[in-house]
C-alpha cells in the first residue's frame, strides 16, 4: 500500500479520535467499540440501573480484592471504588490499550490498578499484586463473540482465582455466558435489567 493510500485510510480514524475526545468518556468508549467491537460488545456503557443491581449482592465489608474484566471507560470502576473498603484493591483487566490508558489517566485512587492483558491470565495478574485470591470478579465481556476457547478459559480461570464464597458477576445481552459458568459454578443466580441499552441478563456464579 502506498503512502497516499495509507494516509487516506488513516484520515477517518484521525477524525474519529478528534470527535471522541470532544465527547469525553462516551466518545472514548465509542472509539474503543469501533476499533474492537468483538471485545467491547456494546456501543455505549451500562446504565446506572445495571450497575446498582449487579453490585447489590456483594458483601463489601468482606471484599478486599475486586477484579473487573473489560472495564471500558470505568463505568463500574467508580461505583466499585465508592463501595470498596479502604484497604481493598480494584484490579481491572482489558486488552484494549485505549481504555487502559484512559483509566490510568483519569482514576487516581491508590486502590485502583489497570492492567493491559487477558482475563484468561487473571490468576497470574492477581498473584502479581500479592494476592492469593479474588473475592469478586465482574465481567461484561461478550462471551458469544470471543475467539474459540477464550470464553471457557476465562470461566475456568475465574473459578480458580475466586476464594470460597466469592462470586463471578456477569452481565450479558445473551444467555451464552451462563453456559460457560455452569461448568464450574453449581449455584448461579439470575436476573434481568430492562433499563439498559440493550436490556441485559445478569448472573452471579457463587463458588462453594
Per-residue pLDDT tens for 56-101? 999 999 999 999 999 988 999 999 999 999 999 999 999 999 899 9
Please say whether the beta carbons of 80 and 90 come within 8 A: yes
pLDDT score at 16 = 52
pLDDT score at 23 = 47
Residue-averaged pLDDT of the chain: 85
Sequence-ordered list of residues with C-beta below 8 angstroms from that of 154, at least 6 positions apart, any chain = 69, 119, 120, 122, 139, 141, 143, 146, 180
What domains, with CATH codes, occur in the chain?
Answer: 1-35 (no CATH), 38-206 (3.40.50.150)
Give residue-wise pLDDT tens across range 40-61.
Answer: 444 456 799 999 999 999 999 9
pLDDT score at 40 = 46
Give residue-wise pLDDT tens across range 137-185.
Answer: 999 998 888 889 999 999 999 999 999 999 999 999 888 889 999 999 9
pLDDT score at 7 = 42
Kindly tell me if the per-residue pLDDT of 10 is higher than 70. no
Average pLDDT over residues 194-199: 84
Q: Which of 11-20, 103-112, 164-173 has the lowest mean pLDDT?
A: 11-20
Bridge partners of residue 90, in order along the sequence = 66, 112
Cα 1 vs. chain centroid, distance in angstroms?
A: 36
CA distance 84 to 94: 20
Amino acid at each position: 500500500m502506498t503512502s497516499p493510500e495509507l494516509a487516506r485510510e488513516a484520515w477517518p480514524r484521525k477524525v474519529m479520535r478528534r470527535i471522541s475526545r470532544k465527547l469525553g468518556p462516551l466518545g472514548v468508549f465509542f472509539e474503543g467499540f469501533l476499533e474492537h467491537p468483538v471485545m467491547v460488545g456494546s456501543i455505549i456503557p451500562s446504565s446506572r440501573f445495571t450497575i446498582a443491581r449487579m453490585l447489590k449482592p456483594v458483601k463489601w465489608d468482606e471484599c478486599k480484592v475486586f477484579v473487573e474484566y473489560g472495564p471500558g471507560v470505568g463505568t463500574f470502576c467508580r461505583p466499585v471504588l465508592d463501595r470498596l473498603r479502604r484497604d481493598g484493591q480494584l484490579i481491572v483487566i482489558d486488552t484494549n490499550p485505549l481504555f487502559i490508558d484512559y483509566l490510568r489517566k483519569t482514576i487516581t485512587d491508590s486502590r485502583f490498578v489497570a492492567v493491559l492483558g487477558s482475563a484468561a491470565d487473571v490468576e497470574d495478574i492477581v498473584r502479581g499484586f500479592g494476592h492469593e485470591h479474588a473475592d469478586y470478579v465482574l465481567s461484561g465481556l461478550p462471551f458469544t463473540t470471543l475467539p474459540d476457547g477464550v470464553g471457557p478459559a476465562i470461566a475456568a480461570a475465574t473459578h480458580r482465582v475466586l476464594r470460597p464464597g466469592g462470586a463471578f458477576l456477569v452481565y450479558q445481552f445473551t444467555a451464552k455466558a451462563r453456559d460457560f459458568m455452569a461448568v464450574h459454578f453449581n449455584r448461579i443466580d439470575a436476573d434481568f435489567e430492562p433499563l439498559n441499552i440493550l436490556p441485559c441478563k445478569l448472573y452471579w456464579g457463587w463458588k462453594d
